[in-house]
Amino acid sequence: MSRKLVIDPVTRIEGHGKVTVQLDENNRVTDARLHVVEFRGFEEFVHGHPFWEAPMLLQRICGICFVSHHLCGAKALDDIIGAGYASGVEMLPTPEKLRRLGHYGQQLQSHTTAYFYLIVPEMLFGMDAPPEKRNVLGLVEANPELVKRVVALRKWGQEVIKTVFGKRMHGIASVPGGVNKRLDARERDRLLKGEPGLLSVDQVIEHALEGVRLFHNFHEKHRREVDSFAKVPALNMSLVDEQGNVDYYHGRIRIVDGNRDTVAEFDYHDYLEHFAEATEEWSYMKFPYLRSLGREAGALRVGPLGRVNVTRSYGDNAPLAQAELERFHDYTGGKANDMILHTNWARAIEILHSAELIRELLEDPDLLEGPLVIEPGEAAWTGEGVGVVEAPRGTLLHHYRADAQGAITFANLVVATTQNNAVMNRTVRSVAEAYLGGRAEITEGMMNAIEVGIRAYDPCLSCATHAMGQMPLQVTVQDAEGRVLDERLR
């Protein structure tokens, strides 16, 4: 007889889901599932709308990574009007650099939220601390000076977004073929040099370095706990440039194995040839995989850990992040790192990398001058476009088709959290096996560990099911007949 455990809701993860653990008659874990039970069909919602509205509508899926949705959609629109990479057209320098600036600003801001607000409290107070303490408000009480610096860092990221896209949230600066405004010198200088109440980019880099040091301090004290918590092998995926280095805005898709050897590399416009999606009746979230390797061997990991596993280096323009990346790669002897809590290390490195990339862009005169839009003419219209960017949580894809009148007839979104679905389920299973230890009882420690394991991916289940809302945690243990043996809600 097998048995089942259910955890619901998962706190501080966006969306709604629950966890079920299936046990056999000896209370050994036979299966573990992260269910996503909320659904809103944004892809259907945009049918019939003018094609140029897609990035504006679809970015409203999410209040966190809206810039990624906006830019991904913008790249797809570039294709649709014949001004995109699918037509062999290179984006003009000024709009591409402005899009990149906003994109890196959002990565800095989004990672700062996930890392400092959700993960650092866990590192400072311990995974077993009560949830009411183990959060950023606990941090406010314990270390207000750190929180002030974090507030300043997030505020600066928001200012980058607002400066580029015109609004703190859901801006509309990207248009088909480019952007609708460039920066002026005053806007550039306040981000570069700061002003009263706003950090300079050099201060941002200092704060980002402090974030990396926080991880190292925690890691040194808790090395065994961090390194042994949920080791989950999987393929790793990221966009890369011609040198094989991560490119958050544009590039080819590269997938590497545990040795960091490339198992697939292709133009993202051909994604349908390379990816397949499995479905399960118990979840609204699909399970993408690399078609050539099948569902189990072809499961993918995206996001910070996937990207740092894929990238060869950060090049010469981000020396501080490059030094951290080398330390990261050295830690596993050059092999792919599959220690789930090292995702937080990777995230801290990417905050630093984003800050250094932003500094380089802010010093680039192209932000202030140059044409903003490619206008390819009606004859170039293709009616179909695919956009891919590296969103903070991982590889994000938008694919649209429009009819001759410009109305959307098809939209497909593959978001990072969906790409990570299989490895998140494997993580839950790994944690359940470690914590249940032959018992059919959900302990507080297991609840915390499952929450920590899932949160390492910073999943946005709202995005993954194209819904909006919060995700609370329910864990259930069941036997083979579906009888509930134990259940906890948080």
Partner 1 sequence: MSACAEARAASAPLDLADYDHADCLIYGIGNVGRQDDGLGWAFIDWLEEAGLCPSAARQRHYQLQLEDADLLRHQRKVLFVDATRDPSVTDFRVECPRPAMDFSFTSHALSIPALLATCAQCFGYLPEARLLVLRGYAWELKQGLTPRAQKNLGAAQACLAPRSPHPFESKRSQA
- What region does 178 belong to: left with phi over 0, alpha with psi -120 to 50, or beta? left
Does residue number 158 form part of the binding site for partner 1 (CB under 8 A)? Answer: yes
Contact by Cβ (8 Å): 489, 474: yes
- Which residue, among 424, 431, 19, 28, has the nearest Cα to 230 in the 3D structure? 431
- Which residue, among 304, 301, 330, has the nearest Cα to 421 in the 3D structure? 301
How far is residue 422's CA from residue 339's CA, in Å, rounded to a whole number? 16
Contact by Cβ (8 Å): 394, 419: yes
Q: With respect to partner 1, which residue has the nearer C-beta, 293 or 468? A: 468
Identify the residue among 127, 129, 140, 380 touching partner 1 (CB under 8 A): 140
CB of 331 to partner 1, least distance (A): 28
Does residue number 49 form part of the binding site for partner 1 (CB under 8 A)? Answer: no
CB of 466 to partner 1, least distance (A): 10
What tokens does 78 get?
A: 């570039």
Q: With respect to partner 1, which residue has the nearer C-beta, 118 or 212? A: 118
Q: With respect to partner 1, which residue has the nearer C-beta, 83 or 147? A: 147
Does residue number 144 form part of the binding site for partner 1 (CB under 8 A)? Answer: yes
How far is residue 10's CA from residue 421's CA, in Å, rounded to a whole number? 15
Tell me the sheet residues that pair with 455.
none
Q: What mask of x and - would describe binding to partner 1 in positions 61 to 80, judged by CB under 8 A? A: --xx----------------
Identify the residue among 25, 30, 48, 137 touching partner 1 (CB under 8 A): 137
Q: With respect to partner 1, which residue has the nearer C-beta, 191 or 253? A: 191
Contact by Cβ (8 Å): 240, 146: no
127 phi, psi to nearest 5 deg: -65, -25
Contact by Cβ (8 Å): 288, 421: yes
Q: What mask of x and - would describe binding to partner 1 in positions 205 to 234, judged by CB under 8 A? A: ------------------------------
Does residue number 136 form part of the binding site for partner 1 (CB under 8 A)? Answer: yes
- Of 59-67, 348-356, 368-376, 417-425, the segment contacting partner 1 by CB under 8 A is 59-67
- Of 144-152, 367-375, 382-390, 400-408, the segment contacting partner 1 by CB under 8 A is 144-152
- Of 88-96, 147-155, 201-209, 390-398, the segment contacting partner 1 by CB under 8 A is 147-155
How far is residue 418's CA from residue 211's CA, in Å, rounded to a whole number? 27
- Which residue, among 314, 269, 249, 237, has the nearest Cα to 80 in the 3D structure? 269
Beta strands of 99-246 (E only): which ranges? Answer: 174-175, 178-179, 235-240
Binding to partner 1 (CB under 8 A): which residues in 13-32? 14
Does residue number 196 form part of the binding site for partner 1 (CB under 8 A)? Answer: no
How far is residue 111's CA from residue 109's CA, in Å, rounded to a whole number? 6
Identify the residue among 203, 292, 412, 470 touching partner 1 (CB under 8 A): 470
Identify the residue among 29, 114, 201, 318 touching partner 1 (CB under 8 A): 114
- What region does 294 belong to: left with phi over 0, alpha with psi -120 to 50, or beta? left
Does residue number 141 form part of the binding site for partner 1 (CB under 8 A)? Answer: yes
Does residue number 331 form part of the binding site for partner 1 (CB under 8 A)? Answer: no
Q: With respect to partner 1, which residue has the nearer C-beta, 22 or 110? A: 110
What are the DSSP calls for 278-310, one per residue? EEETTEEEEEEEEGGGHHHHT-EE-SHHHHHHH
Q: With respect to partner 1, which residue has the nearer C-beta, 132 or 296? A: 132
CB of 369 to partner 1, least distance (A): 31
Q: Are β-strands 283-290 and 252-256 bridged in parallel, bridged antiparallel, or unpaired?
A: unpaired
CB of 146 to partner 1, least distance (A): 10
Quick check: helix, strand or coil at residue 171?
coil
CB of 113 to partner 1, least distance (A): 5
CB of 420 to partner 1, least distance (A): 17
Omega into 9 within 30° of 0, i.e. cis? yes
Q: With respect to partner 1, which residue has the nearer C-beta, 120 or 239? A: 120
Tell me the sheet residues that pair with 471.
13
Quick check: helix, strand or coil at residue 108?
helix
CB of 111 to partner 1, least distance (A): 11
Q: Are β-strands 394-402 and 408-414 bridged in parallel, bridged antiparallel, or unpaired?
A: antiparallel
Q: With respect to partner 1, which residue has the nearer C-beta, 67 or 321? A: 67
Does residue number 131 form part of the binding site for partner 1 (CB under 8 A)? Answer: yes
Contact by Cβ (8 Å): 485, 20: no
Contact by Cβ (8 Å): 68, 389: yes
How far is residue 179's CA from residue 186's CA, in Å, rounded to a whole number? 19
Please tell me the count of residues contacting partner 1 according to CB under 8 A. Answer: 34
- Of 140-148, 236-244, 422-430, 479-487, the segment contacting partner 1 by CB under 8 A is 140-148
- Of 151-159, 260-268, 288-296, 392-400, the segment contacting partner 1 by CB under 8 A is 151-159
Does residue number 333 form part of the binding site for partner 1 (CB under 8 A)? Answer: no
Q: Which residues bind partner 1 (CB under 8 A)?
A: 11-12, 14, 40, 45, 60, 63-64, 113-114, 117-118, 131-132, 135-138, 140-141, 144, 147-148, 150-152, 154-155, 158, 168-169, 197, 468, 470
